[in-house]
Amino acid sequence: MSLRGDVCVVTGAFGFLGWRLVKLLLEEEKMAEIRLVDKHIQPHLLQTLLDCRSDTELSVFEGDIRDADFVKKACRGASIVFHIASIIDVTDSVEYSEVYGINVKGTQLLLEACIQENVVSFIYTSTIEVMGPNSRGEPIINGSEDTIYDCTLKFTYSKTKKEAEQRTLQAHGEVLQNGGLLATCALRPMYIYGEGCRFLLGHMGDGIRNKDVLFRMSLPEARVNPVYVGNVAVAHLQAARGLKDPQKRNTIGGRFYFISDDTPAVSYSDFNHVMMAPLGFHIQDKLMLPLRLLYVICFLLEILCTMLRPFIHIVPPLNRQLLTMLNTPFSFSYQRATRDLGYSPRYTWEDARKRTIEWLASELPKERQRIQLNNIIE
């Protein structure tokens, strides 16, 4: 089912995934208009999109998704919303009200705008972290949408993403102003990597400061299955096509789907090494300290930061929940997305790895220069 002639809204359009999705839409679908919604416009990314837009109109909506009037304006006359924008925070460094406002309130305002403005399809970008892992570090290996898992979420990020996902799925079947029905679905990607991944850049910077040795924060056996950003964009396109198809709409609507690909399962730390070993980086053989001792240190740091909170906001670089996430085997299958959405990874592991390494190689000199300059200033 083609999206030809449709008007779509992409929130977070200049982010890591959002920009990649817009580029894919321009390359594969002759849409009437794509509306780029973001709080901050990045001119160099916009120019790249303008260079490949063909006959599709690109409209820029710069603003805050917590602004109801702004959101309604962005959705007016649209038929599809890809809601990607969110605050990603795994260290709880951002105030709860800010994270909740963007991740939950922003999603709710978008859903309400869809109903008021007769937008028929809504695809929500969720995350694997709405599933866990739980504080006990219980593993899931090759899980599915039917996997039952006992988890009380700890991160503000994962809790707000979970609530936003639930609101999205509950809105499926809501009656629009014109009498039509809203169809929604949610995609849960694994850890997303690829060109532009700020987490990979951050780990590379840490490795440079550590004399080209990457820190090991994950046990080798704590395997996860990251997913390439290009394949996540393809999954979003397939979801939109599916929601437009009358025969698939009721099957997909109101459901969530795990999105992974054929990237080999490996620990987070070892994945960093796989990407950066060709650039001359090594990795620590063992964790810096025994895992249990790290938990104790994190616990003490959390107590100290809580005591100091009335006077100063200090965010420790590591907390117990993050340590659990980094050291819990947690992998999922994309079989149901294949069955219902028609999704299949477009980029092989070899291609995804090559593209990511080439991008990291291009960033390496700039990162070394930036760190060297900071050292001089300090």
Question: Of 17, 25, 168, nearest to 85 (Cα)?
Answer: 17
* Other beta carbons less than 10 A from residue 104's beta carbon: 20
Question: Of 80, 347, 131, 363, nearest to 229 (Cα)?
Answer: 347
What token pair was written down for 300? Answer: 């003490």
* 3-state SS assignment for residue 124: strand
The total number of residues shown for the chain amounts to: 378
Any residues with CB less than 8 A from the CB of 247 and at least 6 apart, and which? none
User: Catalytic residue numbers?
Assistant: 157
Angle 159-287-261 from CA coordinates, rounded to 5° = 55
Beta-ladder partners of 283: 214
What token pair was written down for 122? Answer: 């809504």
The rounded distance, in Å, linking the Cα atoms of 378 and 370 is 12
Angle 236-238-240 from CA coordinates, rounded to 5° = 70
Judge whether 58 and 36 are in contact, CB under 8 Å.
yes
